Amino acid sequence: MLRVMLVDDEPPARRGLRRLLQAHADIEVVAEAGTVSEAQAFAGALHPDVIFLDVELADGGGFDLVAQLLPVPAIVFVTAHDLYAVKAFDVAAIDFLLKPVDPERLAVAVERLRRNRQDMAHAVFAGGGEQDDVELSGDSRSLDAQQRIHLRIDGKSVIAPLGMIAMLAAEADFTRVFISGARDYLVCRLLRHFEAQLPTPPFVRVSRSLIVNLNQLQRVEWQEAGRCNLSLGSDLEPVALGRVAARRLRQCLASHRLINV
């Protein structure tokens, strides 16, 4: 069963889409929202599998909502404006439907959602299309294994526990996500979008371009002039921090009682 939330500031549009979705036995509409704030609250409480999302809402845009969600559920944009199509697929939307929604075209979107769910069930942690067995850390400091991040990369879904993310680094308009014991992924999403959603602690932004998971930090080599090198596991190269970033890290470690200043 796919649990769906409808987000549109026009109640008749929501009613019409709900009626069309009733033709699909494996679709369950669990919530409706007319604003970004309502949708964010429902998404946080209900964790829908799919959001059918209008682009233009009364208190913002559908893209604003996508940027605030983590993990991001499957997104199907439903709008009267085809000029948003390219941007929709830039944020890895599953489909883009134009109003008024055609039932046959909706059936295509639903089938894509079914295939996407199957892809997620077989999501891999390592590249090359081969599935790896990944053992979650038993360290009591680790995040709950049920807290996961959903990354869409080149049409594939990668799902990893938040506790396995070692760090996130900004690269222009992209973010590179480094997963402990696996590999890194370049995601079309700004670092600040991740920062707004990741729990603090253990995730701390030590510089404009870097977020570090303190639970993955193995060693800090403090150097002269206030700089330092971070070790985040044998599979990652040490990370050099300048004076400002190193001072920010020291403050974070001290506030979480991981070091004595």
Domain boundaries of the chain, sorted by first residue: 2-121, 148-255
pLDDT at site 123: 40
Q: Going residue by residue through the chain (261 aa), what tens digit of pLDDT does each one get?
A: 899 999 999 999 999 999 999 999 999 999 999 999 999 999 989 989 899 999 988 888 888 888 887 777 889 999 887 777 767 666 667 888 999 999 999 999 999 898 877 655 544 333 333 333 323 333 333 444 346 777 766 656 667 677 788 888 988 878 888 887 667 888 877 888 888 778 877 888 888 888 988 888 888 888 888 888 888 876 778 888 888 888 888 888 777 655 443
* CATH number for the segment(s) 2-121: 3.40.50.2300
User: Which of 3.90.1150.10, 1.20.1730.10, 3.40.50.850, 2.40.50.1020 is the CATH number of 148-255?
Assistant: 2.40.50.1020
Any residues with CB less than 8 A from the CB of 75 and at least 6 apart, and which?
Answer: 50, 51, 53, 66, 88, 91, 92, 93, 94
